[in-house]
Amino acid sequence: MFAYIVRRILATIPVMAVVAIFVFALLYLSPGDPAAIIAGDTATVEDIVRIRAKLGLDEPVYIQFGSWVWRLLQGDLGISIFTNLPVSKLIEQRLEPTVALTITTLIISVLAAIPMGVLAAWKAGSWIDRVVMVFAVLGFSVPIFVLAYMLIFVFAIWADLLPVQGYVSITSGFWPFLSHMILPSAALGMVFAALIARITRASMLDVLAQDYIRTAQAKGLGSQQVLIGHALKNAAVPIVTIIGIGVALLIGGVVVTETVFAIPGLGRLTVDAILRRDYPIIQGIILIFSGAYVLINLLVDLSYTLIDPRIRY
Amino acid sequence: MTVAPSDIALSAPAAPPRVGWRQRAWRYVRRHPTMIFGGVLLLVMLMMAVFAPYLHTVDPQALSPIRRLRWPSAQYWFGTDMLGRDVYSRTVYGARVSLIVGISVALLATTCGLAIGVIAGFTRWVDAIVMRIMDGLMSIPSVLIAIALMALTRASMENVIFAITVADIPRVTRLVRGIVLTLREQPYVEAAIASGTSFPLILWRHIVPNTLPPLLVQGTFVAAGAMITEAILSFIGAGTPPNIPSWGNIMAEGRSLFQVAYYIVLFPGIMLSLAVLAINLLGDGLRDMLDPRLSRRL
């Protein structure tokens, strides 16, 4: 078991190495002079020279890569071209809203999607099943920002129940925080919830066809006990797996959601960085987001032994 | 085992007549109306994109400052934006960008994924390297890969297609490689190798035909995802340049005016959702048709 954990943790190293090489190499694989593109169309020669020096583009590639990785390992993500501030500091400033939004969305989606999937599988073929499947198809089809604007229109403008946009830290009260989180979480979580509901339904359908479910029913257990205690417990591994993989959808969606709802988080930072072509910030954000994704999926992998005692390493 | 034909006719009920694949497909389609709905909707979208100039549209870039922010009416079906441009015409023309990006990315990503996946599936040392790279790339959310690429290139439709394709290749590669690994062990492939069939011929006869059905299904989902990503990139200002109307662009321009003129965001948003829905329904139907094992479950 311990050996497995160590091996699994070591396995994340090559993955993160590929991510690091990718974000580094992009600067060189892109057609044309990256310094000129980052400087924009109105740049002077001095601007381009300045940016080239700042990115270290005037040194040999292997030296650049070596020193970049060395600084990375020390937690130094480089300096923003536009603001001249360290990227790690900029990311730190914007971290809280994004983490709050992602975790709220994760909780709401999972709490909504798993019961939907369980019900759909239990009443397979009924109208409940149909409604859940329609939700799943729509969840995959309506893009986050389209859904976001529909929600804003109905709940914030027409019904005037929730704020249109903005972010309030949880330190200034739970309801102000939550009221600003409901619409963004609903918009961001739709695809994620659709995915989880779909997999939950599929996994439950498989389990409900097993003999031990019939036995449990035959010995007179209530349907709730059968569904939660016997079926869901055995269907949990694929569901937890898809929650881990689906986090990529949340992370990708954060960029758009924060733009629509004017939330000052990492997504907003990304968009500002694109508009100013501030590549060190984009590099840093990709590394942070991918690191978080790899870490979550590491935890998911390690959780299998807790969920299913049959799985041993 | 020697039974006279007349005995069969007497003992067993008449076997159902063999039906051709055409009839089977038609029967299937009738039982899955959502797939037909998706197909027809997609066809309508394609026609709209192709015949955009003839659908009662005006020049989508034509400015008309005196007619700014008109609400939808008989003259301006979807209203006008802050520069007085006709939102209906812009939305109809926007279908072109979305569909071109969706279809191009699906074709390019499946072709590249097929090539890389086949090579990886057959060559062990390539497999070891390529799959490590793909694992790494798959841990970067694909929107972010596209964003990073767009931040380093100039805004153009070709670059958008390229950026989204790069982000989608790892998933296709992984799918193809998985199929190739199982196919390689199949007796008919081993027999072909043993009897000295040339490698290109094995690829052409056994490997490629067997990867096509799942690739087709994957291709539809890649196309749907690419259309959403294109809209996201354009929406945050890193996609199709502003001089080409795309659904993401139109929505980005209407963003700041949402509270006074929500129709600018609404119509392209609905069109985008419908287009993606159409492709998803078609893809779901295709998957059920090509893999009956899955159809019960998902």
Q: Report the pLDDT value the prediction gives residue A221, as an integer from 0 to 100.
A: 84
Residues 6+ apart with CB under 8 A from A160: none
User: Average per-residue pLDDT in chain A?
Assistant: 87
The pLDDT tens digits for A178-214 are: 889 999 999 999 999 999 999 999 999 989 888 888 8
**B293 in contact with A, Cβ within 8 Å:** no
- Please give the structure tokens belonging to residue A266: 């990492």
**A198 in contact with B, Cβ within 8 Å:** yes
- Please give the structure tokens belonging to residue A296: 């979550």
Q: Treating both helix axes as pointing N-terminal to C-terminal, what angle do A87-122 and A127-141 enclose, rounded to 10 degrees?
A: 160
CATH class of A87-307: mainly alpha
Domain count, chain B: 1
CA distances from B210 to A193, B202, B295, B298 (A): 33, 11, 19, 22
What is the C-alpha to C-alpha distance for residues B133 and A16, in angstroms, rounded to an integer? 10
Long-range CB pairs of B203-209, under 8 A, 24+ apart, other chains included: B203/B118, B207/B118, B207/B180, B207/B183, B208/B114, B208/B118
Q: Report the pLDDT value the prediction gives residue B6, as an integer from 0 to 100.
A: 46
How many CA atoms within 13 Å lie on the side-chain side of B227?
A: 33
The residue count of chain A comes to 313
Do residues B65 and B88 lie in contact, with contact meaning Cβ atoms separated by under 8 Å? no
pTM metric for this prediction: 0.87
C-beta atoms of B269 and A27 within 8 A: no
Q: Among A274, A144, A27, A280, which residue's Cα sits nearest to residue B155?
A: A274
In a domain, residue B14? The reply is: no
In a domain, residue B151? The reply is: yes
What confidence category does residue B292 fall into, taking pLDDT thresholds of 50, 70 and 90? low
Taking the CA atoms of residue A160, residue B236, residue A251 and residue B214 in that order, the dihedral angle to the nearest 10 degrees is 110
Q: Report the pLDDT value the prediction gives residue A257, as an integer from 0 to 100.
A: 93
Q: Provide DSSP, A181-242.
A: HHHHHHHHHHHHHHHHHHHHHHHHHHHHTSHHHHHHHHTT--HHIIIIIIIIHHHHHHHHHH
Q: Which residues of A touch B237 (CB under 8 A)?
A: 271, 274-275
How many CA atoms within 13 Å lie on the side-chain side of B171?
A: 20
Q: Which residues of A touch B297 (CB under 8 A)?
A: 202, 205-206
Q: How far apart are the first and last CA of chain A?
A: 5
Q: Among B294, B267, B215, B235, which residue's Cα sits nearest to residue B95?
A: B267
**B155 in contact with A, Cβ within 8 Å:** no
User: Average per-residue pLDDT in chain B?
Assistant: 84
What is the C-alpha to C-alpha distance for residues A177 and A257, in angstroms, rounded to an integer? 16
Nearest to A140 among B236, B280, B297 (CB): B280
C-beta atoms of B237 and A271 within 8 A: yes
Q: Which CATH number fits the domain that encloses residue B247?
A: 1.10.3720.10
What is the C-alpha to C-alpha distance for residues A25 and B105, in angstroms, rounded to an integer? 22
Share of chain A above pLDDT 90, in %: 39
**A289 in contact with B, Cβ within 8 Å:** yes
Q: Among A190, A193, A196, A182, which residue's Cα sits nearest to residue A104?
A: A182
Do residues A51 and A38 lie in contact, with contact meaning Cβ atoms separated by under 8 Å? yes
State the residue range of the domain holding B197. Answer: 45-297
* Integer-rounded Cα radius of gyration of chain A: 23
CA distances from A83 to A23, A269, A277 (A): 21, 12, 12
Picking from A255, A276, A286, A287 by the largest number of B CB atoms within 10 A of its own CB, the best residue to mutate is A255
Asked whether residue B1 carries a pLDDT value surpassing 50, the answer given is no
**A149 in contact with B, Cβ within 8 Å:** yes
Buried b (16+ CB within 10 A) or exposed e, A93-132: ebebbbebbbebbbebbbebbbebbbbbbbeeeeeebeeb
Q: Which chain B residues in 227-286 lie under 8 Å from chain A, judged by CB atoms? A: 228, 231-232, 235-238, 251, 255, 258-259, 262, 265-266, 269-270, 272-273, 276-277, 280-281, 284
C-beta atoms of A282 and B237 within 8 A: no
Q: Report the pLDDT value the prediction gives residue B16, as an integer from 0 to 100.
A: 56
Q: Report the pLDDT value the prediction gives residue A90, as an integer from 0 to 100.
A: 92
List the beta bridge partners of residue B8: none
Q: Report the pLDDT value the prediction gives residue B88, as an integer from 0 to 100.
A: 86
What confidence category does residue A103 fall into, taking pLDDT thresholds of 50, 70 and 90? very high
**A302 in contact with B, Cβ within 8 Å:** no
**A37 in contact with B, Cβ within 8 Å:** yes
In a domain, residue B34? The reply is: no
Q: Report the pLDDT value the prediction gives residue B17, as an integer from 0 to 100.
A: 60
Buried b (16+ CB within 10 A) or exposed e, A52-68: bebbebeeeeeebbeeb
Provide the total of helices (H) and of strands (E) in chain A, helices listed first.
13, 0
CA distances from A3 to A8, A10, A313 (A): 9, 11, 8
**B119 in contact with A, Cβ within 8 Å:** no
Q: Report the pLDDT value the prediction gives residue B293, as an integer from 0 to 100.
A: 58
What is the C-alpha to C-alpha distance for residues A291 and B139, in angstroms, rounded to an integer? 8
Q: Report the pLDDT value the prediction gives residue A186, as an integer from 0 to 100.
A: 94
Give the mean model confidence (pLDDT) for residues A89-114: 93
In a domain, residue B117? The reply is: yes
- Please give the structure tokens belonging to residue A65: 């890569």
In a domain, residue B225? The reply is: yes
- Please give the structure tokens belonging to residue B289: 């048709």
Picking from B133, B159, B235, B284 by the largest number of A CB atoms within 10 A of its own CB, the best residue to mutate is B235
What is the C-alpha to C-alpha distance for residues A107 and A114, in angstroms, rounded to an integer? 11
Do residues B48 and B271 lie in contact, with contact meaning Cβ atoms separated by under 8 Å? no
If you measure CA to CA, which chain B residue comes closest to A261?
A: B255
C-beta atoms of B236 and A259 within 8 A: yes
Asked whether residue B296 carries a pLDDT value surpassing 70, the answer given is no
H or E stretch at B74: none
Q: Which residues of A touch B262 (CB under 8 A)?
A: 149, 153, 157
How many CA atoms within 13 Å lie on the side-chain side of B115?
A: 6
CA distances from A260 to A89, A184, A218, A265 (A): 24, 9, 53, 12
Do residues A169 and A96 lie in contact, with contact meaning Cβ atoms separated by under 8 Å? yes
Q: Among A257, A242, A252, which residue's Cα sits nearest to residue A289?
A: A252
Give the mean model confidence (pLDDT) for residues A246-255: 91
What is the C-alpha to C-alpha distance for residues B275 and A150, in angstroms, rounded to an integer? 17
Domain positions in chain A: 2-73, 87-307
What confidence category does residue A31 fall into, taking pLDDT thresholds of 50, 70 and 90? low
The residue count of chain B comes to 298
The pLDDT tens digits for B208-247 are: 888 988 899 999 999 999 999 999 999 988 888 888 889 9
Can you say how many angstroms the Cα of residue A223 is from the centroid of all Cα atoms in its chain?
34
